[in-house]
Each structure stands twice: as C-alpha cells, then as structure tokens.
C-alpha cells in the first residue's frame, strides 16, 4: 500500500458521515482538511530544524507557530460537524487574525503581511458559497480599515528601517501571498474539474438507467404537455421520443381514455399524493425493416404520476409539474379480459344449466304425465267402460306426447352434437324455393289453427343453393313455427327469400308479441327463453333458435334478429348460395354458444367418415 493511499484512507476516516455518501461533498471536505492538516503537521515537524538554524525564536515566531494549531482545530471542526461553509468562515477569521497580529507587530498597513489580506476572500471562494465569500471580503476590508486607523491614531512599531531588509521582507510577503493564491487557484481548478467529472458521471449514470429501463419516465406541465420523456418511449411506442414532446403523447392516448389521463395528471398537480391511471396508447409497429411502413395498434399502459419534488438541486421555476412512470400492462389487461370472458362464459353456462333444468322439468314432465295418465286409463278400460273412439283418442294423445318427447330429446341431442363438433352436414345442391314452400305447407295447418295468416313471398327464379337440405328445412321450420307460436290470433307471418349476389337472404317476419331489448341480446343462447318463466304461455325448450344459429354458422352464414315488443319480430338468415366446407376431411368443432373462436374457425364441420 503506498503512502498516498494510507494518507487518503486516514483522511477518509476523518470525514463527517454526511460527506461520505456524496462524492462531490467528499472531495470538497478532503480538499479542506488535507492541506491544513498536512501543512500544520509538516510545520511542526520542521520546527526543531528551524530552531537549530535560527537559534532562540522571537515572541512573534513563537506566536505564529502556536497559531499553526488553528488549521488542525478547523479540520477537527469540519470533521465533527460537517458544516463546510462554517469551516471556511472560521478559516477566514483565523487567517485574518494571524495576518492582523503579524501586521500590527511589523508596521501596520505598510507591513509585508498586509498583502496577505487579499488572500482571505480568495480562500473563501473555495467554499463555493457566496455568503462566505462576501463575509471574507468584508472581513479583509475591515482588517485593512483597522490597520489604516491604527496606523493613523497610534504609533506602531515602524516597518523595517533598513531599506534592503524592508524590500526583502515585502518581497517575501508578496511572493508567499502569490504562492498561496496560486495554490488556492489550483485547488479551485481541481475542485471544478472534480465536480464536472462527477456531474457528467452522474448524468451518464441516469442516462444509462433511462436508456435501459423498460419503464418510461416523463415530466409534464400542469396541462399535460410533455417536457421530457425517456428514450424507453421509443421502444414502447415505435416513434422518436421528440415526437412525444408537448402534446405528442396526448394525441396518442385513446380518445375514450383522454379524460382519465388528464384527470390523473391534474390530480397529481393538485395533491401531494401519487395517482395512478390505466389507458390505451397508440403504437406504431413497423412492417418492414426500413420502418417506412407501419401498422397501428393500441397497447395498455399504467401511469403513476406525482408532483415534481422541487427540493432537489435543480428545483428551479415556479410552475407546478408532474413526473410520471409508464409501463406496458397489455399482457395483464389481456389476461383480465380473458378472465372476464371465461367468467362470463361460466356464468352463461350456469344460467343455461338452470334454464335447462327449469325448461326440461316442464317440457318432459307434461308429456310424460299425459302418457302415464292416458295409458293408466287404457289399462283400466273395463272399469271405466271406454268405447273404441275414446280408446283411439287416448292412444293418439299418448302418441302425440311420445312424438313431442322425441322432438325434445332430438333437439337436445342435436344441440350437444353441434357443440361438440359431431354434427354432420352433407352439402348438396337443392332447390331452395321447393324446400321453403314445403316447410310452409307443413306448418300451414298449425297457422290456421292458431288463426295466423301465413304467406310466402318466394320468387319463381330463386336459384338453387348448395348446402345441407335437412339443415335448411330445420332452419325454416324452427323460424316459421316460432313466428306462428309467438303471434296472436289475427296476426300475420311472412316468409320471404331473395338472392343477393352470391347469397340467399331469408326473412321470417311476424306481427307477434316481439322481444324486449334486454332479452334480444341473449336470444339464441341455448335454453334461453324471453320473458319470465312463469309468464310463459307457450311450450318450448329454448333450443330452436340456438339450433338455427348453429346450423347457419355451420353453413358460413349469419343470423340476425330485429324485434319490437308488441309489434313483431323479423329473423334474417343470410346463407352463401354455394357453400363448400373449408377443408375437406378435416374435423372441426363448432364454437359453443357465447364463445368466440380465432379467425378461420368461425364455423366447423365434421365430415362423415
């Protein structure tokens, strides 16, 4: 270990704890203590040699030597209190006292020591404190004035009368003062260099941090305008940071989120608390390597902002400002959204199960009760003395109930097959007009019984369609029977079809009870029936429309419903005229109701083996 590093370690041990954490303060304290301590100790060390050369010292020399204890005391003061300005003020006092004593003893203002008064404010300049420099300058001037006054009123010991000795004494005074001033100038230069190096190191450290942080740091005016934004914004938003200055960032905030964004900033300006907000930001995603073309997408960010703390060294200016930290939370948001969708699906599934149980208990129990009741009567035909016509009537009722049960069970099976992707459709060309007319004929009797006017508006030249004819009929039968079921006596049901470019547009409209807007959103969910269960006047399982929806979806078509309560309902089905399964032989699954599938899997078919 070198002598220099030992001295350095000893000096560091003397530093006040508050100076050890900050490099610049540490350098300043070291620059104050080192020359004083080393100078004084050195002077004490060479004093015996001086005595040997000079012989018995004069009273002035002894006094000056005793004064050397002052720098040691000053170093001790700084090391114990850490008060840098105070230490320099005391140092100025000590130096001026020493100069005054020597000057008074050696000719007052004419003394060789008087020139040292210039050094007092120069030394104080090292404190980097205006107050201390002003104090030191006033002190030096006061000393000069005192020396002139004393010279004027009192007879001081005259300056050396021997001109040669006097000249050499003045020469010594000026030279030593110049030397000390030069040492001070070097010290000031060294301190300035140290502070520049430290500042640039610190700046580089912050720049490095800002560059390598994925979070974006920004500084805003009270109106939200950006004054500074860290380079991480370029990675986050795909644009140069300069473009985000002023209102550049605000213009990238999603219009719907702008009020929340501004509110968070103004809350941060007003209060002392940090505020947090989540909003969407527009981001440019380059599509080629040169970056001239880009796509635009929105990402979710979380921004935490707080009022700017002006207590720091750069706390200048009076306008209230806000500092903010932004981070990309898109992944979390997507997870939350996926969770919401899953929760919604689970809630819908639960509601569907409840509806299923409620509907099934009604739909299964009613025909089963009829079957058991009428078959019991047939068993006891002897006791009840039933005639042949009655027996036939009962047998017919049992048959009707069985048929109804079968259709309910078939509906459930169809639906579950479609949901699990096992429903088979066999596309083939067929005459859509013939299929429509035959469905209307099938339901004409029921319409007549219900007192509903059923009419078909199907042009003669309606083109053939390629699809599954059984599925097509099922769609039409379900829609038309619903229209008849939910239309009061005297109402009207119209079945209209037309070809529109490569599509067949089928419209089933009625003047019936209609569907409330709240229910309309959920119509087509399995087992969902509009209105409250206890208000139901019609039989049904709540599967008809969801089967239609699924079949239409299997044919790459679309179904929409327009309805107004007490005015009527129109169900529109759009089917491609030439349907071709997307990938022959590939097994695909129908999306269960309420779930959306990635693009390309909107409809799904299992080809029969």
Rounded to the nearest whole angstrom, what is the least distance from the CB of residue 430 to ligand ADP in the complex?
24
Rounded to the nearest whole angstrom, what is the least distance from the CB of residue 508 to ligand ADP in the complex?
7
User: Considering only CA atoms, which of 206, 281, 210 is closest in space to residue 243?
Assistant: 281
Q: Between residues 75 and 550, which has the closer beta carbon with respect to ligand ADP? A: 550
Locate 511 and state its tokens. Answer: 């003047």
The burial of 130, by beta-carbon neighbours within 10 Å (0-12 exposed, 13-18 middle, 19 or more buried), is given as exposed
Q: Between residues 467 and 544, which has the closer beta carbon with respect to ligand ADP? A: 544
Q: Between residues 512 and 581, which has the closer beta carbon with respect to ligand ADP? A: 512
Q: Between residues 512 and 557, which has the closer beta carbon with respect to ligand ADP? A: 512
Query: What's the rounded Cα separation, in Å, for the pair 61 and 67?
Result: 10
The tokens 């997507």 sit on which residue?
A: 334
The burial of 189, by beta-carbon neighbours within 10 Å (0-12 exposed, 13-18 middle, 19 or more buried), is given as exposed
Phi first, then psi, for residue 176 (nearest 5°) are: -65, -40
Rounded to the nearest whole angstrom, what is the least distance from the CB of residue 338 to ligand ADP in the complex?
29
Locate 484 and state its tokens. Answer: 């008849």
Rounded to the nearest whole angstrom, what is the least distance from the CB of residue 607 to ligand ADP in the complex?
27
Opening angle at CA 69, ends 65 and 72, nearest 5: 140
Q: Between residues 27 and 483, which has the closer beta carbon with respect to ligand ADP? A: 483
Rounded to the nearest whole angstrom, what is the least distance from the CB of residue 457 to ligand ADP in the complex?
17
Contact by Cβ (8 Å): 403, 586: no
Q: Between residues 96 and 546, which has the closer beta carbon with respect to ligand ADP? A: 546
Q: Between residues 123 and 363, which has the closer beta carbon with respect to ligand ADP? A: 363
The tokens 């991480």 sit on which residue?
A: 232
Provide Rg for the chain, Cα atoms.
Answer: 50
What b-and-e string marks burial along 3-26, b requiring 16 or more CB atoms within 10 Å of the CB? eeeeeeeebeebbbeebeeebbbb
Rounded to the nearest whole angstrom, what is the least distance from the CB of residue 482 to ligand ADP in the complex?
4
Q: Between residues 340 and 488, which has the closer beta carbon with respect to ligand ADP? A: 488
Sites of contact with ligand ADP (CB under 6 A): 478, 482-483, 486, 510, 512-515, 523, 529-531, 540-546, 569
Contact by Cβ (8 Å): 378, 386: yes
Rounded to the nearest whole angstrom, what is the least distance from the CB of residue 233 to ligand ADP in the complex?
52
**3-state secondary structure (DSSP) of residue 162:** coil
Rounded to the nearest whole angstrom, what is the least distance from the CB of residue 346 to ligand ADP in the complex?
22
Query: What's the rounded Cα separation, in Å, for the pair 144 and 151?
Result: 10
**DSSP-derived secondary structure for 397-454:** HHHHHHHHHHHHHHHHHHHHHHHHT------EEE-HHHHHHHHHHHHHHHHHHHT-EE
The tokens 């699924």 sit on which residue?
A: 550
Q: Between residues 106 and 569, which has the closer beta carbon with respect to ligand ADP? A: 569
Element (H, E) at 465: strand 465-467
Rounded to the nearest whole angstrom, what is the least distance from the CB of residue 564 to ligand ADP in the complex?
10
């Amino acid at each position: 270990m070198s002598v220099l590093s030992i001295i350095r370690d000893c000096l560091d041990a003397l530093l006040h704890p508050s100076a050890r954490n900050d490099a610049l303060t540490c350098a300043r304290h070291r620059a104050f203590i080192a020359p004083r301590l080393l100078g004084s100790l050195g002077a004490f060390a060479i004093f015996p040699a001086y005595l040997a050369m000079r012989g018995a010292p004069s009273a002035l020399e002894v006094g000056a030597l005793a004064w050397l204890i002052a720098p040691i005391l000053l170093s001790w003061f700084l090391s114990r209190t850490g008060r840098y300005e105070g230490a320099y003020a005391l140092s100025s006092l000590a130096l001026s006292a020493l100069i005054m004593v020597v000057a008074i003893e050696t000719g007052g203002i004419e003394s060789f020591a008087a020139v040292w008064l210039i050094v007092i404010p120069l030394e104080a300049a090292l404190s980097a404190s205006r107050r201390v420099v002003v104090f030191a300058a006033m002190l030096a001037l006061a000393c000069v004035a005192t020396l002139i006054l004393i010279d004027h009123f009192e007879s001081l010991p005259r300056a050396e009368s021997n001109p040669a000795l006097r000249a050499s004494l003045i020469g010594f005074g000026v030279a030593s003062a110049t030397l000390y001033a030069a040492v001070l100038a070097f010290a000031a230069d060294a301190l300035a260099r140290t502070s520049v190096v430290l500042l640039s190191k610190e700046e580089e450290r912050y720049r490095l941090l800002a560059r390598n942080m994925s979070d974006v740091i920004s500084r805003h005016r009270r109106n939200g305008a950006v004054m500074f934004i860290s380079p991480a914004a370029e990675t986050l938003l795909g644009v140069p940071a300069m473009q985000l200055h002023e209102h550049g960032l605000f213009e990238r905030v999603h219009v719907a989120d702008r009020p929340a964004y501004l509110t968070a900033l103004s809350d941060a300006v007003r209060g002392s608390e940090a505020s947090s907000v989540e909003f969407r930001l527009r981001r440019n995603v380059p599509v080629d390597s040169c970056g001239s073309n880009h796509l635009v997408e929105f990402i979710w960010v979380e921004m935490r902002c707080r009022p700017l703390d002006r207590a720091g060294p750069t706390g200048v200016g009076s306008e209230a400002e806000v500092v903010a930290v932004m981070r990309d939370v898109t992944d979390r948001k997507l997870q939350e959204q996926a969770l919401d969708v899953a929760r919604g699906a689970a809630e819908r599934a639960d509601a569907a199960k409840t509806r299923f149980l409620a509907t099934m208990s009604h739909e299964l129990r009613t025909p089963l009760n009829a079957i058991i009741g009428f078959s019991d009567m047939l068993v006891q035909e002897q006791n009840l003395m039933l005639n042949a016509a009655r027996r036939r009537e009962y047998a017919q009722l049992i048959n009707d109930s069985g048929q109804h049960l079968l259709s309910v069970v078939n509906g459930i099976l169809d639906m579950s097959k479609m949901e699990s992707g096992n429903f088979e459709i066999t596309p083939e060309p067929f005459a859509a007009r013939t299929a429509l007319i035959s469905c209307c004929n099938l339901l004409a009797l029921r319409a007549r019984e219900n007192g509903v006017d059923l009419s078909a508006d199907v042009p003669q030249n309606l083109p053939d369609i390629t699809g599954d004819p059984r599925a097509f009929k099922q769609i039409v039968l379900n829609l038309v029977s619903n229209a008849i079921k939910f239309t009061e006596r005297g109402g009207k049901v119209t079945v209209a079809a037309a070809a529109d470019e490569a599509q067949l547009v089928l419209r089933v409209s009625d003047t019936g009870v209609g569907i409330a807007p709240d229910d309309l959103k959920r119509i087509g969910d399995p087992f969902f029936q509009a209105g409250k269960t206890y208000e139901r006047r019609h039989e049904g399982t709540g599967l008809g429309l969801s089967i239609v929806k699924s079949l239409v979806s299997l044919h790459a078509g679309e179904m929409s419903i327009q309805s107004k309560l007490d005015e009527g309902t129109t169900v529109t089905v759009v089917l491609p005229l030439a349907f071709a399964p997307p990938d022959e032989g590939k097994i695909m699954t129908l999306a269960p109701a309420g779930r959306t599938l990635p693009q390309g899997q909107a409809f799904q078919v299992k080809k029969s083996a």
